[in-house]
């Protein structure tokens, strides 16, 4: 099903990006101080930068907040979401006045998720120190230092 935000846009900086109204993703965090973990998604060959690890996310629909869009995308990509989430913070990447990618960091009570559609080959819960050991999607790799600070207990 095509959604209102689906589509590429060329920004004032000349780069082409996905999401007519911007995009958003979500970092799910669980565990205590000694076993903090985040949900990572292995992007399929059908997704941009397939074969890399990242987080659920995608284009925002018209009028959708970054949190609404990130949760919608996550439910499409990793299945049913826990009802009990706590927003820990967000990081906004805005390389162009007309486009941004907002990543929301949320705490959940326990691990969940599965590869629920064609965009995901696998879903794993990974310790904070092990995230950098994986081949990461370039955009996620650039944002990870900021996101890690929000994910730490």
Q: State pTM to two decimals.
A: 0.93
Within-domain flag for 2: no
With contact defined as beta carbons under 8 Å apart, do 151 and 36 qualify?
yes
> Quick check: is 139 in a domain?
yes
For each of the chain's 153 residues, which pLDDT tens digit applies?
778 888 888 988 888 888 889 999 999 999 999 999 999 999 888 887 888 999 999 999 999 999 999 999 999 999 999 999 999 999 999 998 889 999 999 999 999 999 988 888 999 999 999 999 999 999 999 999 999 999 998
Domain count along the chain = 1
53 lies in some domain: yes
Tokens matching residue 17: 């990006």
pLDDT, position 11? 86
pLDDT digits (tens, 9 = 90+) for 20-39: 899 999 999 999 999 999 99
Q: Is residue 92 assigned to a domain?
A: yes
Domain range for residue 101? 8-151
What CATH number did the domain enclosing 84 receive? 3.90.79.10
**1 assigned to some structural domain:** no
DSSP alpha helix (H) spans, the chain:
66-78, 138-151
Q: Is there a domain that residue 3 lies in?
A: no
């Amino acid at each position: 099903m095509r959604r209102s935000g689906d589509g590429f846009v060329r920004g004032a900086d000349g780069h082409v990006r996905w999401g007519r109204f911007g995009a958003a993703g979500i970092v799910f965090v669980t565990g205590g101080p000694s076993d903090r973990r985040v949900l990572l998604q292995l992007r399929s060959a059908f997704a941009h930068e397939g074969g890399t690890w990242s987080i659920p996310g995608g284009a925002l629909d018209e009028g959708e907040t970054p949190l609404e869009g990130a949760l919608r995308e996550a439910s499409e990509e990793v299945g049913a979401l826990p009802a009990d989430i706590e927003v820990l913070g967000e990081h906004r990447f805005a390389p162009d006045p007309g486009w941004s990618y907002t990543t929301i960091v949320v705490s959940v009570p326990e691990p969940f998720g599965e590869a629920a559609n064609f965009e995901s080959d696998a879903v794993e819960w990974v310790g904070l120190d092990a995230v950098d050991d994986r081949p990461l999607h370039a955009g996620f790799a650039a944002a990870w230092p900021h996101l890690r600070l929000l994910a730490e207990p």
